[in-house]
Amino acid sequence: MKPAYVVGHITVLDQEKWAEYRSKVPATLAAWEGELVFRGKQCEVLGGEHHHSDTVVIRFPTLEALNHWFSSEAYQALIPIREQAADMDLISYEADS
């Protein structure tokens, strides 16, 4: 089994809604064994271009688990809040090994 990751590149637009969204996401991860790996603010772009200020990385045991989490009713219910709270690029990755 290869682990899979969700990487979110984020620009917060509404701090209150963002706090609400962030407080509700952890409960959606448990059923799919998702775990927060990293959350942080950009310090410096060392090459290329990057337009977001924040990044989050969430690990899942498999790509299948990641996809089930994303399509789950619990997470889908949070998307309208996320869309009001932030401009976010959300990308899935599967580890090579």
Residue ranges and CATH numbers for the domains of the chain are 4-43+52-94 (3.30.70.100)
Whether the Cβ atoms of residue 47 and residue 12 lie closer than 8 Å to each other? no
- The predicted pLDDT at position 97 comes to 72
Six-digit token pair at 10?
């984020």
Q: From CA 96, how far away is CA 94, in angstroms rounded?
A: 6
How wide is the angle at C-alpha 49 spanned by C-alphas 43 and 50, nearest 5°? 50
- Whose tokens are 């620009």? That residue is 11
Q: What is the pLDDT along the chain (97 residues), one digit of tens a residue?
A: 899 999 999 999 999 999 999 999 999 999 999 999 999 999 999 999 999 999 999 999 999 999 999 999 999 999 999 999 999 999 999 998 7
Q: From CA 11, how far away is CA 51, in angstroms rounded?
A: 8
- The predicted pLDDT at position 85 comes to 98
